[in-house]
Amino acid sequence: MAGRVRRDCSAVMWRWWLPMLIWASLSGCSSYQLAYNHLDRLLFSWVEDYVDLTSAQRAVLEPQVQQWHTQHRQTQLPRYKDLLVAMRTGLQSAPLDAVLAEQWQAEAETRWLELRSSLVPLSITLLEQLDIAQQQALLKALRRRIEVQRDEYLERTPAEQAEHLEDLYRQRMKRWIGRLDHSQSRDLNRLVVTLTNAEGLWLGYRRRWVDALEQALIVRSNRHEFEKQITALTLSPQSLLTAAQRAAMAASRRQRGEYLLALVNGLSVSQRDQLLSELDALIEAAEQLLQSQD
């Protein structure tokens, strides 16, 4: 099993792996089309960071992955492109309306749910193929990833955690809008101070998710119950959150949304131009990917 730890990925199993690969292939690679067109290979490479698949298992999974990839290109990629076009149009002139921003968020969440729904059959097929040793190796790898992240989190003081989050936000935003000015930096600092507990909440949630996955694997012989539990873990993992955690997550989401809206509406001319240019590149990549299927 590959021993490297992908520090930039905090998610587990198919519930997070494939969506992150898709968005990484569209927005994080120097060749968007190349990455997306080889998404099936990237997927197997990612999976095998957690568990080694046999050639027989790959032979079962590969046709389904290829079919999923084709369906995603035909049905979901056009919707991603439409959302990007709508965002590009809305962002071209300031100020951005809060209601419109919420509409984009709702649309993105709809696309996210559709993607997760399409992954359920693949998730079930993958997990059905694993023998007992592979199941244990998978669970161990997932828990080890969480423990590494937990140790890193606990080693930081609240101030260090806030600084860490701020660095992450700066790195992610630099590509889209460039460097933050003094006022934007001050607002970001205020935001991350309110979000320092979020990582701790997510770590606890991830541990419960892996525990729930283990319970689902225990009942694998009961196909109906197994499919029910895997479907729930894929489509409604938020059910594992306590009421207090859901409230905290909702507050964090609201705070991030308010910050981003204010940030967008305060962009300089050069920052807005860079943002629109990046969106243009994404839209062009999506168009070329759609044309290549004809």
The label of the residue with tokens 């168009």 reads 287
The structure tokens listed for 77 are 């990629």
Work out how many domains the chain is built from and give that number. Answer: 1
**Separation between Cα atoms, residue 282 and residue 85, nearest integer Å:** 9
Give the pLDDT of the chain (294 residues) as one tens digit per residue.
433 333 333 333 333 334 434 444 444 444 556 566 766 676 777 788 888 999 999 999 899 988 988 898 889 889 988 988 998 999 887 788 889 988 888 888 888 888 889 888 988 999 999 999 999 999 999 999 999 989 988 898 988 988 988 998 898 888 889 999 999 999 999 999 888 777 777 888 889 999 999 999 999 999 999 999 999 998 888 888 888 888 888 888 888 888 989 999 999 999 999 999 988 988 888 888 888 765
> Does residue 7 form part of some domain?
no
> Does residue 8 form part of some domain?
no
Residue numbers of the domain that contains 242: 13-291
> Does residue 17 form part of some domain?
yes
The structure tokens listed for 279 are 């969106």
> Does residue 95 form part of some domain?
yes
> Does residue 159 form part of some domain?
yes
The structure tokens listed for 161 are 């955690």
pTM of the model: 0.81
> Does residue 1 form part of some domain?
no
DSSP 201-249: HHHHHHHHHHHHHHHHHHTTTSHHHHHHHHHHHHH-GGGGS-HHHHHHH
> Does residue 6 form part of some domain?
no
> Does residue 249 form part of some domain?
yes
